[in-house]
């Protein structure tokens, strides 16, 4: 039973448990459900550590905290999904939509996380894809006081620096970020707000610890900034939300992400958004980041021409996706993953090389995991 305007008062559950960036993407799915079924009761199942992302969201009626689902643990997720489907069968839910990229939904990944999440909803996303974030007045006031306390208005430029991402999209380290911030602020005209959950204690008044602000409040901090140094993680994506001011971006990406690959340019291109105010660096060092940023503050277009790098199309996740889907015995999902990616990229040899590698490593990993699980050698005689 798909939601539509003639199926009023349906009880619908949207399951997107984590992470902050992924939940932001999924707010467009919630908006689409409300568009398709205006009078439904929409509940969102979410992990406790991400629930603030959807606080005050106008399209959500209720929140179901998935307190016992371990992040990225397939067994835990499967148990939760089985429980929800049992509830649906008993009539507690009329429809459930699972958008997390886990279990069989790994098949939906196509090198762009937002479009992959959207595939968890069976109808087209026709509403705006901008992440929906509705702030409370007290959150805005806290940011205003933060800006006042750190004299942000006295600086010529204020840069927001996402320097410790959890997504694996960047090779940036806190130590390197501080060195970059020191170079950018040494003449006293610029300020850098280092944004993460890490506390930074630095003597320079231009190097500001942003850890006291929540990710929601950081969205509003963009109104006091004029550039983002990002890592295609939560701060980057919250800066594109309805609560934020869209900033020119210099994105510092990981040249060899271990799994998910999600460059901003690919996402923006996929959804018809302008990349005119986006510079991406894949191979960089401290001096290159500093030079690119300083030039971008002076003339962004020229800096983009001189320093911009095209993120390569990589399929690093495909081998593990195919392997995991085979372990789940979900052969139809393997076929779906191949169909989705050939639809997006054609018959790309790199993709098929990774997919074949997933098939080849499957029996060997399966045997290795069997022995690791069933035999334990302590190393003692």
Taking only the tens place, the pLDDT of each residue in 136-145 is: 999 999 999 9
Amino acid 370: pLDDT = 63
Please check the confidence at residue 270 and state whether its pLDDT lies above 50.
Answer: yes
Each residue of 293-322: pLDDT tens digit?
999 999 999 999 999 999 999 898 999 999
Asked if residues 182 and 204 have their Cβ atoms less than 8 Å apart, the reply is: yes
Domain coordinates in residue numbering, the chain: 11-118, 137-307, 316-374
pLDDT tens digit string along 337-365? 999 999 999 999 999 999 999 999 888 77
Enumerate the H helices of the chain as residue ranges: 20-36, 74-89, 113-118, 137-149, 174-185, 215-221, 234-238, 264-270, 286-298, 300-307, 316-327, 331-345, 349-374
Task: Give residue 143's pLDDT.
Answer: 98
Same fold, 11-118 and 137-307: yes
Position 381 pLDDT exceeds 50 = no
Task: Calculate the average pLDDT of the chain.
Answer: 92
- State how far the Cα of 28 lies from the Cα of 59, in Å rounded to an integer: 9
Place of tokens 């195919």: 322
Residue 12's SS3 state is strand
Q: Hey, what CATH class is 137-307 in? A: alpha beta
Residue range 11-118 forms a domain whose CATH class is: alpha beta
Q: Using CA atoms, how far apart are residues 216 and 207, in angstroms rounded to an integer?
A: 21
Is the pLDDT at 255 greater than 90, yes or no? no
């Amino acid at each position: 039973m798909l939601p539509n305007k003639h199926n009023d008062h349906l009880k619908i559950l949207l399951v997107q448990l984590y992470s902050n960036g992924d939940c932001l993407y999924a707010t467009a799915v919630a908006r689409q459900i409300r568009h398709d079924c205006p009078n439904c009761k929409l509940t969102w199942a979410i992990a406790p550590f991400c629930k603030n992302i959807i606080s005050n969201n106008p399209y959500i009626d209720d929140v179901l905290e998935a307190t016992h689902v371990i992040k990225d643990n397939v067994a835990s997720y499967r148990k939760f999904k089985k429980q929800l489907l049992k509830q649906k069968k008993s009539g507690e839910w009329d429809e459930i939509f699972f958008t997390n990229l886990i279990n069989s939904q790994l098949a939906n990944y196509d090198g762009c996380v937002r479009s992959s999440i959207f595939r968890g909803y069976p109808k087209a996303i026709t509403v705006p894809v901008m992440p929906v974030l509705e702030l409370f007045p007290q959150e805005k006031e806290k940011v205003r006081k933060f800006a006042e306390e750190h004299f942000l208005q006295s600086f010529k430029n204020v840069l927001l620096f996402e320097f410790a991402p959890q997504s694996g999209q960047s090779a940036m380290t806190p130590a390197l970020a501080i060195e970059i911030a020191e170079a950018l602020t040494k003449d006293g005209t610029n300020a850098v707000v280092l944004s993460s959950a890490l506390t930074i204690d630095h003597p320079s008044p231009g190097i500001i610890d942003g850890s006291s602000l929540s990710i929601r409040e950081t969205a509003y901090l963009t109104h006091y900034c004029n550039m983002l140094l990002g890592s295609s993680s939560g701060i980057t994506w919250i800066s594109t939300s309805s609560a934020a001011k869209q900033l020119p971006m210099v994105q510092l990406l990981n040249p060899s992400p271990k799994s998910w690959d999600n460059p901003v340019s690919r996402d923006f291109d996929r959804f018809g958004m302008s990349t005119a105010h986006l510079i991406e660096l894949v191979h960089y060092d401290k001096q290159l980041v500093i030079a690119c940023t300083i030039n971008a503050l002076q003339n962004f277009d020229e800096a983009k021409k001189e320093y911009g790098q095209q993120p390569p199309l990589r399929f690093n996740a495909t081998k593990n996706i195919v392997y995991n889907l085979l372990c789940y015995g979900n052969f139809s999902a393997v076929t779906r993953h191949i169909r989705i990616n050939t639809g997006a990229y054609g018959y790309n040899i790199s993709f098929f090389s990774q997919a074949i590698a997933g098939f080849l490593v499957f029996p060997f990993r399966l045997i290795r995991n069997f022995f690791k699980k069933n035999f334990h050698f302590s190393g003692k005689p």
